[in-house]
Amino acid sequence: MEKEKTEDFALMAELESFFSALADSTRLRIVMFLLKNGEASVQEICKGVGKSQPLVSHHMACLKNCGVVKWERKGKNVIYKLNDEHVKEIINEALNHVSLFSNSILSCEIIKEEREDGKE
């Protein structure tokens, strides 16, 4: 029983970290950019999301650590893309869900309060 609780706790921590990686607006913009474009260099991502190279590189490290993106070297460039079909499915399902529940998601008072508390 104790082992099961430990495994549940670990799984919850992993899920929370994964969804936190996607919850940041810059990281989410990067993910959406890669979903739309397939693959891109850091310079292309910077231009596409309107953020600096150091900031994008910082966020790419998080996305890579969380298994959201992968990279490969092409000549002198490092090219990033979404890690696999699972990530694409998660994002596409989230887009479908948001399109169905947009009004209630945007009007959620609990989320609004949590965002306001986080800004203080």
Average pLDDT along the chain, 120 residues, taken 10 residues at a time: 76 93 95 97 97 96 96 93 94 95 91 78
Six token digits for residue 6: 């430990």
Query: Which is it for the CA torsion 50, 53, 57, 59, positive or negative?
Result: negative
Give me the sheet containing 39-41, strands edge to edge. Answer: 39-41, 77-82, 69-74
pTM higher than 0.75, yes or no?
A: yes
Give the pLDDT confidence score for residue 7 in this predicted structure: 77
Give the pLDDT confidence score for residue 120 in this predicted structure: 47
Spatial separation of the C-alpha atoms in residues 21 and 111, rounded to whole Å:
17
Give the pLDDT confidence score for residue 1 in this predicted structure: 62
Give the pLDDT confidence score for residue 119 in this predicted structure: 62
Give the pLDDT confidence score for residue 112 in this predicted structure: 86
Q: Nearest CA to 70 among 78, 92, 15, 54?
A: 78
